[in-house]
Chains A and B, each alone.
Chain A
Amino acid sequence: MIPAQMSPPGSSSPSPRSPSNRPFLSVSVTDPVKLGNGVQAYISYRVLTKTNFPDYQGPEKIVIRRYSDFVWLRYRLCEKYRGIFIPPLPEKSAVEKFRFTSEFIEMRRQALDVFINRIASHPDLQQSDELRTFLQEDEENMEKVRSQETGIFKKKPSDLMQIFKDVQSKVSDVVLGKEKPVEESTPEYEKLKHYVFELEDHLTEAQKHAFRLVKRHRELGQSLSDFGKAVKLLGACEGDSLGKAFSDLGSKSELLSVKLQKEAHNLLMNFEEPLKDYVRAVQSIKATMADRANAFRQQCELAEATKLKEINLYDESPIAFFMLNGITQNSHVAFTLHSDKLMLIRSDKAPEAEMEYRQLKTESEEATRRFETIVRLMGEEIVRFQEQKTADMGIAFHEFAKGQAKLARDIADAWRTLLPKLEACASSTSN
């Protein structure tokens, strides 16, 4: 569980060191319970919040939430906080739903716990109304809030995910500038774009192999178990000291099989899942990049529209003509150049046109502001992201190494116990 930035989770009361004026927020997602039947079945989770935030019902509150509630939260945050890398959610799997293996449930629970804690430790996101609603509203109100949403949220969560996916698939085109020719192309941002895309490829490959490694552990465990059984039967056939030796070998083999299954699970939860989370995080960055590209495009379009409006407002003049050409090269620059232009107004259409122009200019300024916010936020987020990932992966690597080391030691120890017995087994020539 990723601790919230403020204080370690699970502390039941503020530590003596932190006075009540030091704010903390810690959340845990636990106790998955399967509810409903058949196609309607779903899992509900217990979400426990411990906090001293003023507008929270403290010090503790428990609510019951399901996966689609998490989806709602994420969607709302994505809409509101463009530019921030909203933490990713585990995928909604249509197939697994019917099976709901305990492993799947555990993986999902862990991912949801990580998700909510990341939000709770983000300086901006933790202050959001949406988070408070999610953590505090009772279940009835939560449903109302969800259905109050715009038409887009009236759709089922699965549809919502589909929308997300559509956005995702458009991201590459938009961000890489395939759809529209208008794109941001500073060398720095280009580098970042390519970094993100290539990073996703590398991580996906690593994650794929990690998953396969989990499977291999399970397979080895299985074959050790089968081998153990066969060897024991062989021992029964042979009899005497050799038979006993076989039997002992078989038992050890079966014992190690169990250890391998355990390590497989450990590997899955503490190495493979963090890697998968990393991949999802990168995908979240891509979504933000799509937002940025959209914002950039909007800004450009509005700037151009404003420019044209401005031109139309005034008599054609050599200056206007010159400026018109200037627009297509660099709207932004052209805009600032025009900011204190002489205004020659045509008397009859003046007020209406003037109002339209003002409106457009305001929108254009809005769009620019939005874009610049995203750029600024992204800059900060990238730094946070890199640091967070180094910490996350550091832990994952450590757990991986620890797990493998322990497994190998256990294997060595188990087999080693057999050696004195084997030595003691009389060779026929020494009889």
Chain B
Amino acid sequence: MMGPEALPGFGSPPPREEMESLVLTDDDDHSFAFRSAMASSALSDGRHPLSAAPASLDSGDPLPSPHTPPAPLLQNPSSPSSSAAFLDPPSYADVIFSPFEGENGQASEHDLPLSLDRDPSSRSDRFLSSGYAKIAVSDPQKEQETTNSLVPGANTYVTYLITTRTKDPDLGGPGEFSVRRRFRDVVTLSDRLAEAYRGFCIPPRPDKNVVESQLMQKQEFVEQRRSALEKYLRRLAAHPVIGKSEELRVFLQAQGKLPLPVTTDVASRMLDGAVRLPKQLFGEAGAGYVAPQEVVQPAKGGRDLLRIFKELKQSVTNDWGGVKPLAVEEDKEFLERKEKMQDLEQQLSTASQQAEALVKAQQDIGETMGELGLAFIKLTKFETEEAVYNSQRIRAADARRIATAAVKASRFYRESNAQTVKHLDTLHEYLGLLLAVHGAFSDRSSALLTVQTLLSDLSSLHMRAEKLETASSKIFGADKARIRKMEELKETIRVTEDAKIVALREYERIKENNRNELERLDRERHDDFLGMLKGFVINQVGYAEKIAEVWEKVAEETSVYARQIA
């Protein structure tokens, strides 16, 4: 952090919201939390740049007006009247600027950069045009699970207050809603969405944490999770299809317990599946096949162990068997896109890392500049107090100019950086979204695998039927048992055929979803990245100009020395 705490503070810094509202894009206050959430996740060293700004105003600023300035001692005729106070804090109005100074060189103080403000497809505006006018997560509370536990403090969890507002009648609006949810509910929501929206790029939910109850004590973790949840819900709302989903609406609006089927844990799923398995293998008629309605879901998450085994076998055959499977991914366009996504992911990862390093470097230079300024403030104060000769006073005045400029520049660096974090965070965001793409692609592959497995099944069933036919035709007279088996087999084939048709349909549906989503992703990414570049550049230009002005003034004030060396 900046400088020694010895110097008196700035006085009360303006409240955070006020400060935020003065910075570059003038979003609603609800997107303030959005921005700060992004900012906190962007920096790897855990420092929150936006909180750094007001805090260091407290500790790092040089002498404010309360400190009595030794004005009578200053006899330097060349120092302007503003040298009476040690440092006037720059007004926050100065922060708002126009990046295009124009020929007259005047920076207009109150214009907002037009292009960024009116860009209709920036991320936050996409949220604003969703069905939900407001989604906010707040007020984490610790609650106790109502089990008869002997251990106090066991089974405590945190709930969050989720307040939303919508005008859309399809979404239960107009109205305001307030519900309490725990993280487990979020997992449920995420799982149900994954089931219902296969092939879509569903925004990834925040991570679970294994040692949850331990970490719950830390306020930081809770705050992190709160902001991650908010981000997640807003992303869901911003999705053109999922935003309108019943699952989301119910999550946001249904009072009391979340009315979505709960995801059972892996162990009990497996247990159920193991119970069914003997029946599937040896049991009643019709138990050996997979029901058509089940094929719309992947085998992996389910309880059908037999199906899981079969599909696993199929995928192994795909990879290692010499025979080409009966259905393959043929869509060239898709394969190209997939490769491109992988490439993009790699470059995005590198760019995101370098962006973080850049932000840190900018932060460091701002900090050091501030510390330099403070050191010169101290020097100035010292020289002024101890001055015996006029040359000392002149030098002290010069040093003060440098100090003031350095502190101002430091502040500009910090403010600029807070913005840069916001902009470059887009890179980081998209890395996360590419995870969603993975999800969409894997939906597609598992659907294809289901189709392939069923096709293999059918092929082997047909072969069995053929064998039975040939066998029975060699024997005179109908064997009752054999006829029954034949019937059963024909039935199995019929059901499996139905399942195959459903699976194929599902596969095609998912492919279509994939296609649409990729297109949407490309479009949105194009706009978001463009917005990011614009925002980044405008910010850099604006603040560089501000900093240049500060130093040019000092260069002018000290130009008398330049003539000496000329």
**A423 at the B interface (CB under 8 A):** yes
**Contact A401:B540 (CB < 8 A) given known A226-B357, A227-B358, A242-B529:** no
**Contact A209:B372 (CB < 8 A) given known A202-B379, A397-B561:** yes
**Is A429 in contact with B530, judged by CB distance below 8 angstroms?**
no
**B252 at the A interface (CB under 8 A):** no
- A198: chain B residues at CB < 8 Å are 382, 386
**A391 at the B interface (CB under 8 A):** yes
**A105 at the B interface (CB under 8 A):** no
**A380 at the B interface (CB under 8 A):** no
- B362: chain A residues at CB < 8 Å are 220
Expressed in whole angstroms, the Cα–Cα distance for A390 and B391 within the complex equals 6
Expressed in whole angstroms, the Cα–Cα distance for A231 and B558 within the complex equals 40
**B213 at the A interface (CB under 8 A):** no
**Is A223 in contact with B561, judged by CB distance below 8 angstroms?**
no
CB within 8 Å of B: which A244-285 residues: 245-246, 249
**A344 at the B interface (CB under 8 A):** no
Expressed in whole angstroms, the Cα–Cα distance for A60 and B358 within the complex equals 52
**B559 at the A interface (CB under 8 A):** yes
Q: How far is the CB of B313 from chain A (nearest CB, A)?
A: 37
**B281 at the A interface (CB under 8 A):** no
- B354: chain A residues at CB < 8 Å are 223, 226-227, 229-231
- B475: chain A residues at CB < 8 Å are none
- A249: chain B residues at CB < 8 Å are 533, 536-537
Q: How far is the CB of A356 from chain B (nearest CB, A)?
A: 44
**Is A213 in contact with B99, judged by CB distance below 8 angstroms?**
no
**Is A394 in contact with B358, judged by CB distance below 8 angstroms?**
no
- B376: chain A residues at CB < 8 Å are 206
**Is B533 in contact with A422, judged by CB distance below 8 angstroms?**
yes
**B279 at the A interface (CB under 8 A):** no
**A425 at the B interface (CB under 8 A):** yes
**Contact A233:B564 (CB < 8 A) given known A397-B398, A408-B551:** no
**A402 at the B interface (CB under 8 A):** yes
- A382: chain B residues at CB < 8 Å are 389
Quick one: closest A residue to B379, CB to CB? A202
Expressed in whole angstroms, the Cα–Cα distance for A393 and B376 within the complex equals 12
- B386: chain A residues at CB < 8 Å are 191, 195, 198
**A212 at the B interface (CB under 8 A):** yes
Contact of A404 (CB < 8 Å), options: B409, B533, B558:
B409
- A213: chain B residues at CB < 8 Å are 365, 368-369, 372
Partner-binding segment picked from A16-24, A41-49, A73-81, A413-421: A413-421
**Is A393 in contact with B537, judged by CB distance below 8 angstroms?**
no
Q: How far is the CB of B29 from chain A (nearest CB, A)?
A: 26
**Contact A412:B351 (CB < 8 A) given known A202-B378, A394-B395, A397-B561:** no
Contact flags A190-224 to B (C-beta < 8 A → 1, else 0): 01000100110011011011101100110110111
**Is B355 in contact with A415, judged by CB distance below 8 angstroms?**
no
Q: How far is the CB of A413 from chain B (nearest CB, A)?
A: 8
**Is B402 in contact with A397, judged by CB distance below 8 angstroms?**
yes
**B562 at the A interface (CB under 8 A):** yes
**Is B344 in contact with A237, judged by CB distance below 8 angstroms?**
yes
Q: How far is the CB of A150 from chain B (nearest CB, A)?
A: 38
**B466 at the A interface (CB under 8 A):** no
Interface size range on B against A: 35 or more
Expressed in whole angstroms, the Cα–Cα distance for A261 and B565 within the complex equals 25
**Contact A408:B548 (CB < 8 A) given known A245-B530, A390-B394:** yes
Q: How far is the CB of B546 from chain A (nearest CB, A)?
A: 8
**B120 at the A interface (CB under 8 A):** yes
Quick one: closest B residue to A219, CB to CB? B361
Quick one: closest B residue to A252, CB to CB? B537
Expressed in whole angstroms, the Cα–Cα distance for A226 and B360 within the complex equals 13
- B545: chain A residues at CB < 8 Å are 408-409, 412
- B364: chain A residues at CB < 8 Å are 216, 219-220
**Is A422 in contact with B527, judged by CB distance below 8 angstroms?**
no
Expressed in whole angstroms, the Cα–Cα distance for A422 and B530 within the complex equals 7
**Is A394 in contact with B355, judged by CB distance below 8 angstroms?**
no
CB within 8 Å of A: which B12-56 residues: none
**A333 at the B interface (CB under 8 A):** no
- B351: chain A residues at CB < 8 Å are 227, 230-231, 233-234
Expressed in whole angstroms, the Cα–Cα distance for A231 and B426 within the complex equals 13
**Is B564 in contact with A391, judged by CB distance below 8 angstroms?**
yes
**Is A209 in contact with B368, judged by CB distance below 8 angstroms?**
yes
**A395 at the B interface (CB under 8 A):** yes
Contact of A428 (CB < 8 Å), options: B357, B527, B538:
B527
Contact flags A177-192 to B (C-beta < 8 A → 1, else 0): 0000000000000010
**Is B533 in contact with A397, judged by CB distance below 8 angstroms?**
no
**B167 at the A interface (CB under 8 A):** no
**A427 at the B interface (CB under 8 A):** yes
**Is B541 in contact with A216, judged by CB distance below 8 angstroms?**
no
- B326: chain A residues at CB < 8 Å are none
Expressed in whole angstroms, the Cα–Cα distance for A427 and B119 within the complex equals 9
Contact flags A378-412 to B (C-beta < 8 A → 1, else 0): 00001100110111011101101110110011011
Expressed in whole angstroms, the Cα–Cα distance for A206 and B343 within the complex equals 48
- B495: chain A residues at CB < 8 Å are none
Quick one: closest B residue to A248, CB to CB? B533
**Contact A205:B357 (CB < 8 A) given known A249-B533, A408-B544:** no
**Is B375 in contact with A209, judged by CB distance below 8 angstroms?**
yes
**Is B379 in contact with A206, judged by CB distance below 8 angstroms?**
yes
Quick one: closest A residue to B551, CB to CB? A405
- A389: chain B residues at CB < 8 Å are 391, 395
Expressed in whole angstroms, the Cα–Cα distance for A198 and B381 within the complex equals 12
- B527: chain A residues at CB < 8 Å are 427-429
**Is B399 in contact with A416, judged by CB distance below 8 angstroms?**
no
Centre residue among B351, B371, B391, B392 by max chain A CB count within 10 A: B351
**B464 at the A interface (CB under 8 A):** no
Quick one: closest A residue to B560, CB to CB? A394
**B296 at the A interface (CB under 8 A):** no
**A159 at the B interface (CB under 8 A):** no
CB within 8 Å of B: which A324-379 residues: none
CB within 8 Å of A: which B340-385 residues: 340, 343-344, 347-348, 350-351, 353-355, 357-358, 360-362, 364-365, 368-369, 371-372, 375-376, 378-379, 382-383
Expressed in whole angstroms, the Cα–Cα distance for A208 and B379 within the complex equals 13
**A149 at the B interface (CB under 8 A):** no
Expressed in whole angstroms, the Cα–Cα distance for A212 and B558 within the complex equals 24
Expressed in whole angstroms, the Cα–Cα distance for A354 and B547 within the complex equals 77
Quick one: closest B residue to A249, CB to CB? B533
**Is B401 in contact with A242, judged by CB distance below 8 angstroms?**
no
- B120: chain A residues at CB < 8 Å are 427, 429
**A138 at the B interface (CB under 8 A):** no
Q: How far is the CB of B86 from chain A (nearest CB, A)?
A: 16
Q: How far is the CB of B240 from chain A (nearest CB, A)?
A: 13
CB within 8 Å of A: which B499-552 residues: 523, 526-527, 529-530, 533-534, 536-538, 540-541, 544-545, 547-548, 551-552
**Contact A412:B372 (CB < 8 A) given known A391-B564, A397-B398, A419-B99:** no
Q: Which residues of B contact A (CB under 8 A)?
A: 99-100, 115, 119-121, 340, 343-344, 347-348, 350-351, 353-355, 357-358, 360-362, 364-365, 368-369, 371-372, 375-376, 378-379, 382-383, 386, 389, 391-392, 394-395, 398-399, 401-402, 405, 409, 523, 526-527, 529-530, 533-534, 536-538, 540-541, 544-545, 547-548, 551-552, 554-555, 558-562, 564-565
Task: List the 5 closest pairs (A to B, CB-CB), nearest first.
Answer: A408-B548, A405-B551, A394-B561, A412-B544, A401-B554
In the complex, 16 of the A-B residue pairs with CB atoms within 8 angstroms, ordered by the A residue number, are A199-B383, A216-B365, A219-B361, A220-B362, A223-B360, A226-B354, A226-B357, A238-B529, A246-B533, A383-B389, A386-B395, A394-B561, A395-B564, A397-B554, A401-B554, A411-B540
Q: Which residues of A contact B (CB under 8 A)?
A: 191, 195, 198-199, 202-203, 205-206, 208-210, 212-213, 216-217, 219-220, 222-224, 226-227, 229-231, 233-234, 236-238, 242, 245-246, 249, 382-383, 386-387, 389-391, 393-395, 397-398, 400-402, 404-405, 408-409, 411-412, 415-416, 418-419, 422-423, 425, 427-429
- Additional A-B contacts beyond A389-B395, A390-B395, A429-B120 (5; CB < 8 A): A199-B383, A213-B372, A242-B530, A387-B389, A393-B398
